[in-house]
Amino acid sequence: MKQIPSINKSGPQPQKLAALRQAHRDWNESPDVLTRLTRRLSTTLSLETQLAILAEEIASVVPYDCLTYRHTIASREFVYVTGKGGPHSCDYRLNLEGSFYGTLSFSRRQKFTEQELEGIELMLAAAICPVRNACQFIAIEQASLTDCLTGVPNKRALDDALSRASCLGDRHGEEYSLILCDLDHFKQVNDQYGHVVGDHMLKLAAAELEKAVRNSDSVYRFGGEEFAILLAHTDEVNAREVGDRIREFISTIVVDCGDTNVTVTASCGVAMRLADETADQWLARADEALYRAKAHGRNCTRVFAAISN
């Protein structure tokens, strides 16, 4: 039987503690650019902040006029640019352990020397792990805000967006409108044709909603067969027009189930945000408008008017 080495219960030797303290001081106080770069990058998971740090530290070693970073994270384009470009550039693909983490480009008026390119590459090698971590953090954060079935933002993302819109509305007087859209008699689709058909219809509905609105508008899956659409710089008159257009787009959905084609209609409730109104109050008024649309026979749009109901 092998004997297990005894553990020294007296604690670390004083020399080791002293060496550890010295290493800590060196890490925090070292003027070495690579040590400073990795130390600063380790303080944040914000990719934008990391790129600002990287831009500053590289500029202290290799002058440049413009830095551009591009990457697609969780199906969304991330772009960071600082400065203005020049005719000469160097481009890098950031790869680590077989995975891609974006492209980084530097440009300026004068050609980069071989020594300067080597310096940039050494600094990128030190930065790639923190950049990887920041990209993964964004992907995880986006996953927590995305409906896994339809691919549009979920209720949690909607809550955050309504809070931001409320703050901007109070601060700058910007107009926002909210539409709640519910697929009519959707339970019957699930009961008669099954959840596979129902899920397919929800995916198609999300796609049609995104076609029906502007790029500046946002579509969310509010829950079940209900969606929410946040419209920026839109009053209730224009929001109602969007609601009617949404219903037209939804009505074009056709799912082939063999012996029959399954179609669906939608009801929409519209509410323009009022001054000093909380996100919950705003959402409740849109929900009340949706209830009225359903009470009036469905497949229609109703507005919770700001002055008269």
- Distance separating alpha carbons of residues 218 and 236, to the nearest angstrom: 16
CA-CA-CA-CA dihedral for 119, 61, 88, 107, to nearest 10? 110
Look at the alpha carbons of 189, 248, 151, 167 in this order and tell me if their dihedral is positive or negative: negative
Residues 6+ apart with CB under 8 A from 158: 220, 222, 228, 230
The residues annotated as belonging to the active site are: 225
- Distance separating alpha carbons of residues 239 and 214, to the nearest angstrom: 12
- Distance separating alpha carbons of residues 309 and 138, to the nearest angstrom: 42
Q: Which helix (H) or strand (E) holds 86?
A: none
Three-class secondary structure of residue 170 per DSSP? helix
Count CB atoms within 10 A of the CB of residue 140. 11
Which pairs count as long-range contacts for 286-291, CB under 8 Å and 24+ apart, including other chains? 286/178, 286/179, 286/180, 286/228, 287/180, 289/180, 290/180, 290/181, 290/182
